[in-house]
Amino acid sequence: MPRILITTDYLRPGDEVDQYLRKHGHTTVHAPMTGRRDPEELVAALDGIDGALVANEPLTADVLSRAPLLKAVVRTGVGHDSIDVAAARELGITVSNLPGINAGAVAEYTLGLLLAAARRLVQSATGVAAGGWPRQDGHELRGSTLGLIGYGAAARAVVPLARAFGMRVLCATGVPDSARTDPSVEFTELPELLAASDYVSVHTALTERTRHLLDADAFRRMKPTAVLVNTARGAVVDERALADAVRTGEIAAAALDVVDEEPLPGDSPLRGVEGIVVYPHMAGQTAEARAAAGREGAAELMAALEGRPRFAVNAPTPAGPAAGGIG
């Protein structure tokens, strides 16, 4: 009887996913990830495990090599940079993600961050809680320019919402021309996007080419009134350079749902910088998105264990035009 490890914290014993897997003859083991986990704890949790539904577990080459029964891993989300997919391929382990599973949730959250930044909602509420009554002017989104870095499912879902607010939408992406079909989006190169945008929203995957894509040079290209929003991966942004840019007025503000190290360390350069607001990685966390991720993740894991994964990210595929670039 295959044993399934479940580390995604919102999937619990007895829930719909648990019942589904057990009904199909699997034994489930729950070990929810609620913070940093020591690699040895993860190795122990994977002992005797055939398949895993995981959150942002650090599945390194060493950890994977010490899980001899493991055949398939499914990330209950989109990003899979915490998994060494090349090592998994060498070990015969299929790694899958769930592309687009929370795109709607991330798109709505992105607009929420844009509105919060434009109208200074967090600062205003914090001021009232502290006994004040702050009433500084905010800005309207209407008539401003939004620059999207990446053109995956979440970025595409942002476009109609931004357009409904009357925003001009630019996009820098490595997807082929055949995928750039939305006439309401102006596709451009990253330097031009940074220079023209009032708001820059990050939606690209984390790769070696996109790590610290937004560095000191990138912030110098942006408007001094610009706001950075990141709901993708923290390491796309050079956090020390961002802190310096906001502190010195090179850009106006940043709203970050993701950071390089989560939870945010006490000595992070992002702490204590007026204008930078950090949120606890909640963009895709809606009841609807979680339910869909659980159902689709369980179905993908069963398919992968049967040798027919639908969304494997480490299956051999020809390199496309956007390989390693901005998604």
Catalytic residue among 108, 186, 192, 262: 262
Alpha helices by DSSP H, 248-312: 287-305
Residues paired with 53 in a beta bridge: 6, 74
Between helix 287-305 and helix 16-23 the angle, nearest 10°, is 20
**What is the spatial distance between Cα 247 and Cα 273, in angstroms, rounded to a whole number?**
6
For the record, the structure tokens of 97 come out as 């993600």
User: Is the distance from CB of 146 to CB of 198 less than 8 angstroms?
Assistant: yes
**What is the spatial distance between Cα 205 and Cα 203, in angstroms, rounded to a whole number?**
7
User: Is the distance from CB of 92 to CB of 65 less than 8 angstroms?
Assistant: no
Catalytic residue among 156, 221, 233, 290: 233
The amino acid occupying position 139 is: H
Q: Is 262 a catalytic residue?
A: yes
Q: Is 203 a catalytic residue?
A: no
Residue 53 is inside which H or E element, if any? strand 51-54
Catalytic residue among 22, 37, 119, 281: 281
User: Is the distance from CB of 276 to CB of 256 less than 8 angstroms?
Assistant: yes
User: Is the distance from CB of 222 to CB of 248 less than 8 angstroms?
Assistant: no
Q: Which residues contact 251 (CB under 8 A, 6 or more apart)?
A: 219, 222, 223, 224, 225, 226, 227, 228, 245
Q: Is 281 a catalytic residue?
A: yes
Rg (CA), the chain: 21
For tokens 């802190």, name the residue. Answer: 243
Give the residue numbers marked as catalytic. Answer: 233, 262, 281
